[in-house]
Amino acid sequence: MSPSFSRWNPWRGLGALPRKIWIHFAATLVNRVGTMAIPFLVLYLTKDAGFTAERAGLVLSLYGAASLVVSAFLGRLADRLGHVRMMKASLLSSGLVMLAYPLARSPGAIAAVTIALAVTAEAFRPASLSVLTDLAPPEQRKAAFAVNRLAINLGMSIGPAVGGYLAEVSFPAIFRVDGTTSLLAYAVLALTGFKVAEHALAAGGEGAPGQGPRSRPAYKDLQLLGFLAACVPLAAVFFQHEGALPLDVVRDLGLPASFFGWMFTINTVLIVLFEVRLNMKTAHWPHRKSLFIGGLFIAVGFGSMAFCRTGPAIALTVVVWTIGEMILLPSMSNVVAELAPPDRRGEYMGLYSMSWGIAFAIGPWLGTFALERFGHVSLWAGAFVAAAVASIAMGRMRLRPRA
Written as one string, the DSSP assignment of 260-312 is: HHHHHHHHHHHIIIIIHHHHHHTTTS-HHHHHHHHHHHHHHHHHGGGG--SHH
Q: For the chain, which residues score pLDDT lower than 70?
A: 1-15, 197-214, 401-403
Rounded Cα–Cα distance for residues 44 and 49 (Å)? 7
In this structure, are residues 248 and 374 in contact, taking their beta carbons and an 8 Å threshold?
A: no
CB within 8 Å of 82: residues ≥ 6 apart: 198, 200, 201, 209
Rounded Cα–Cα distance for residues 283 and 147 (Å)? 13
Rounded Cα–Cα distance for residues 10 and 5 (Å)? 9
pLDDT reported for residue 320: 97
pLDDT reported for residue 402: 60
pLDDT reported for residue 209: 43
